[in-house]
Amino acid sequence: MLAFGIGLGTKNQKQEWLEVFYPKPVWQPSSALADIVRQQFAVSTNTSVELDADQLESLAEQFAAAGEQELSDATKALIETKQPRVINILLEDSPSRSTPEVYLKLQLISHRLIKPHGINLDGIFGLLPNVAWTSEGAIDLEELPARQLAARVAGRVLEVDCVDKFPKMTNYVVPKGVRIAHTARVRLGAYVGEGTTIMHEGFVNFNAGSEGKSMIEGRISAGVMVGEGSDLGGGCSTMGTLSGGGNIIISVGKNSLIGANAGVGIPLGDRCKVESGLYITAGTKVAVLDDQSQAVETVKARELAGQHDLVFRRNSVNGRVEAVTNKSAVQLNEALHANN
């Protein structure tokens, strides 16, 4: 068994799932936990099963007997609620089949149980309904006007925070050791490593994030991972697979810096810098300078993908984009040709 989660969620009037909250999702469960789930739910593929109070009580008792007290307590807490409850069981890493399955996968990432690209997220957009995220939880858009009117009649104002397929990560999990100045700018499914600071203009998409001890004042697009010790300056961006990067997985190495209003469309290696205001795409022509500041070769930026200790800058005299390295001409040529 790959994973499972027991949670409660919200349905619309058509009894369609809008969202699911898993208080304690389990990744790669022990054989004892997997046996408990298998014995109660005879499934042969990834499956979501709605639960009643008796099933929850039985599971809580068995989890406690197996020494999993936290999981038992989280399960027991769901017995009395009137909200719909569900167990989602992942036997294999395959495209998602239901809304509860998508929510489990996203929360596994945000709980730091798996890293971005660590689980199959194919097909999730068709399974994530676009809903109103409000002060009273997720509401189906067709049902929103009636709910707003009912709130006004009762003397309340129903606050609509946003209309989106993805909710705020912090409404589901707040990882240990992070600072998030504006929680609406971090989507569920983000991986925020311990020690990361995300300032007000920072943004982290789903299936993306930071390893830890990073300063994020720019945009981490879907699919992008930022290495520990790196700094994304104000207004900068990383080109994700949803914003033009195609199938190239963009990443930023350790202890790197992307300056304010700059951006990258190639994977950066460790200890790299991109000058403020400079956007490097895969096709950008770059003059590569050796340790004597002599141009060795002009290449497309994709040929420098993943190389360490590069400083990308724009020449103030002739306007060309340059990459400065600490390697000699011979070493640099060898590295470039090995990359072809």
Q: What CATH number should be reported for the domain holding residue 176? A: 2.160.10.10
Whether 70 and 160 share a structural domain: no
Last residue of a domain, one of 108, 141, 164: 164
In a shared domain, residues 173 and 267? yes
CA 7 to chain centre: 20
Q: Tell whether 320 and 258 lie within a shared domain.
A: yes
142 and 175 inside one domain:
no
Mean pLDDT for the chain overall: 94
- If asked whether residues 307 and 173 sit together in one domain, one would say yes
Arithmetic mean of pLDDT, 159-168: 97
In total, how many domains does the chain have?
A: 3
Each residue of 282-334: pLDDT tens digit?
999 999 998 888 899 999 999 999 999 999 999 999 999 999 987 665 565 66
Of the candidates 217, 228, 275, 303, the residue annotated as catalytic is 217
Read off the pLDDT of residues 192-251 as tens digits, 9 standing for 90 and up. Answer: 999 999 999 999 999 999 998 999 999 999 999 999 999 999 999 999 865 444 567 899
If asked whether residues 273 and 227 sit together in one domain, one would say yes
Q: How far apart are CA 121 and CA 118, in angstroms?
A: 9
Please check whether residues 65 and 181 belong to one and the same domain: no
Tell me, yes or no, whether 215 and 257 share the same domain: yes
Place of tokens 């930023």: 252
Kindly state whether residues 335 and 232 are assigned to the same domain. yes
Give the pLDDT of residue 44. 92
* Full-model pTM: 0.92
Residues 316 and 285 in one domain: yes
Kindly report, residue by residue over 192-208, the tens digit of the pLDDT: 999 999 999 999 999 99
Q: Is 57 tagged catalytic?
A: no
- 294 and 176 within one domain: yes
Residue 291 and residue 173 share a domain: yes
**Which domain covers residue 153, as residue numbers?**
133-164
